[in-house]
Structure 1
Amino acid sequence: MKARRLLSTLLTSCALLLGASAAQAAYPDKPITMIVAYGAGGSTDVTARMLVPFIEKYLGGGARIVVMNRGGAGGEIGFAAIADAPPDGYTIGFINTPNVVTIPIERNARFTLDRLDPLVNIVDDPGVMTVHGDSPYKTVEDLVAQAKANPNTITVGSTGVGSDDHLGMLLLQRQTGARFTHVPFPGSAENYRSMLGRHTQVCGQNLGEGLRGKAGGDNIRILGVMSKERWSMAPDVPTFKELGHDFTMASLRGIGAPKGLPADVRSKLVEAVTKAANDPEFQSKARDTFQPLRILDSEAFTVELKQLDGEYRALWSEFPWLK
């Protein structure tokens, strides 16, 4: 009897272990939602839809990822949707700086940075100021001169209060004494279309977005880039620092998840996203669509976000950008 009970216990234990292994190996056994906190057609959306097939490839097992656009409130709606999701690996999404950092600083937001788990950063896209090709403003100094002589007569579009586009405009104001009129949009596509339609005079955007527009035949002029150095694929675009405005501004865009993922699921996601981002075919597509890649692992991505949090809190204490 004791032998039979022991055998039964061993068989049950083996069955449980096999069952656990099978469940573990099955992830993902249903579609994964990838949330983009901005509208369709914008820069983050372009990156997400380009990256998804490669993540599916490296997850294997017929994995399927569905991109869901949850734009609004400068990204808050989408970031909150990621943070609020069950931490089971079936909801991930892009988290964008500075918005994911600045929103909880400037208001009582629906999410906090510590409720998000940074997995892998993909893109580091510097800010630019872009005007219509027929605009009378040929240089950044033209904009500054007009905005100093006639305050608030130049409209500058952005992807929301506290976005890199908005903060870049504010830093330029701070250094020059110019005064612009800020026009926030729910996403970069709407912001860009407004400038193309001449509803707003300047589009605060990212370099990749502007270069894709130029490559597509849009009649635009990129006045300057907010990076430390000129980018090799846009050698004719001067940096703001070269023009006498010593500041930088950029948008990190990486994959995040709700905090608390099971260790095995997190490991599988990180591995798949990392391999996807380093896939030569994806990297070729990224170059073709002017996406400045900067792949950071979880630890480096987290460190960078914490560093930005400290910098933006210091900036907020000096001049709050939300009024």
Structure 2
Amino acid sequence: MIARHLSRALTGALVMTGLLSMAPAATAAYPEKPITMIVAYGAGGSTDVTARMLAPFIEKYLGGGARIVVMNRAGAGGEIGFAAIADAPPDGYTIGFINTPNVITIPIERQARFNIDRIDPLVNVIDDPGIMTVHADSPFKTLEDLVKQAKANPNTVTVGSTGVGSDDHLAMLLLQRQAEVRFTHIPFPGSAENYRSMLGRHTQVCGQNLGEGLRGRSAGDAVRILGVMSKERWAMAPDLPTFKEQGYDITMVSMRGIGAPKGLPPDIRAKLIEAITRAAEDPEFQTKAKETFQPLRIVAPEPFAAELKQLDVAFRALWRENPWLK
């Protein structure tokens, strides 16, 4: 009798062992290795500052000992970095900042290594209006001083940007058109290089974003901001007149959000979106963003994607009317 019960118990144990061996192995919890966050511009620029400040908060909300490594992949106006995001395996271990207008304009102006349809916009974080900055000892006290000099001496005023088709470059072209002047465009691989060139008096004007300019001014850099390309004066800098106030109807804003390769597993995508959103909404991060003059505008995936599509339509129309790559 005892032998019969032992036999049955042993048989049951063997059957259970067989069933367990046939079951799929448990999937490791995401993330189980470091996540690469690509910045398509050089170290020290606005996007790099945002990325390095935001990354620890994303790690916090991903949990499980998550680690994010910020990697700068600068060059070609952002194309190298954007292509690296688009080309990465859609496994959640590569994300990166996507910047307008470059992420839209690069595939319009040339045969690029990526297009916006290959990148999944997750969450927008920053909305940074354009400005034009000069050295404090520049003869240009106002935007009109700059225009008068360019009108009297075509192609002699140098304006730096973060690359062909960047918001800085397009803003310069719009000012050229409206003021009927000609500048000499000097493209740089990133905003830090552009800014340093102006500080070193190698270029006369730095086309940049408000956050960069205010950080420099706050740090005591010898600079003067000629105007801001927002619809209204910015709360962080109420002393700065808009371009429109000065007679030039130019609005140019750089959205900076996080994207990933198309095709993420739905559960990983949802986890990333939640972690990025909570990170951007974290009071400590928001305080740091304010202290470093980063204009926040958190936009969820669907409206973020919709805005990118609208920009694509608008910039394609502008390209047909006035191609900016010559």
TM-score normalised according to structure 2 size: 0.94
2:125 equivalent among 113, 118, 122: 122
Residue 319 (structure 1) aligns with: 322
Amino acid in the other structure paired with 2:145: D
Q: How many residues align?
A: 316
1:206 equivalent among 209, 224, 230: 209
Deviations 1:77-112 (A, max 9, x none): 000000000000000000000000000000000001
2:275 is equivalent to residue 272 of structure 1: yes
2:263 is equivalent to residue 260 of structure 1: yes
Please give the alpha-carbon distance, in whole angstroms, between the structure 1 residues aligned to 2:101 and 2:206: 17
Deviation at 1:226, TM superposition (A): 0.3
2:300 is equivalent to residue 285 of structure 1: no
Deviation at 1:7, TM superposition (A): 6.3
1:27 equivalent among 30, 39, 43: 30
Residue 191 (structure 2) aligns with: 188
Please give the alpha-carbon distance, in whole angstroms, between the structure 1 residues aligned to 2:249 and 2:52: 35
Residue 200 (structure 2) aligns with: 197
2:139 is equivalent to residue 140 of structure 1: no
Amino acid in the other structure paired with 1:30: K
Residue 176 (structure 1) aligns with: 179
Residue 57 (structure 1) aligns with: 60
2:264 is equivalent to residue 250 of structure 1: no
For 1:269, what is the secondary structure of its paired residue?
A: helix
Please give the alpha-carbon distance, in whole angstroms, between the structure 2 residues aligned to 1:61 and 1:148: 60
Q: What is the alpha-carbon root mean square deviation over aligned residues? A: 1.5
For 1:242, what is the secondary structure of its paired residue?
A: helix
Deviation at 1:233, TM superposition (A): 1.2
Deviation at 1:53, TM superposition (A): 0.2
Deviations 1:31-50 (A, max 9, x none): 00000000000000000000
After TM superposition, the runs of 4+ consecutive aligned structure 1 residues lying more than 2 A away are: 3-13
Residue 86 (structure 1) aligns with: 89
For 2:246, what is the secondary structure of its paired residue?
A: coil
Please give the alpha-carbon distance, in whole angstroms, between the structure 2 residues aligned to 1:8 and 1:62: 33
Unaligned runs of at least 5 residues, structure 1: none
2:229 is equivalent to residue 226 of structure 1: yes
Larger radius of gyration: 2
2:42 is equivalent to residue 39 of structure 1: yes
Deviations 1:246-281 (A, max 9, x none): 120010000000000001110110010000000000
Deviation at 1:178, TM superposition (A): 1.1
Amino acid in the other structure paired with 1:316: W
Please give the alpha-carbon distance, in whole angstroms, between the structure 2 residues aligned to 1:99 and 1:58: 29
For 1:35, what is the secondary structure of its paired residue?
A: strand
Please give the alpha-carbon distance, in whole angstroms, between the structure 2 residues aligned to 1:12 and 1:246: 69
Q: Alpha carbons of 1:11 and 1:167: their partners in 2 closer, same or farther (altered >3 Å)? A: same
Please give the alpha-carbon distance, in whole angstroms, between the structure 2 residues aligned to 1:175 and 1:6: 81
Identity over the aligned pairs, expressed in percent? 79
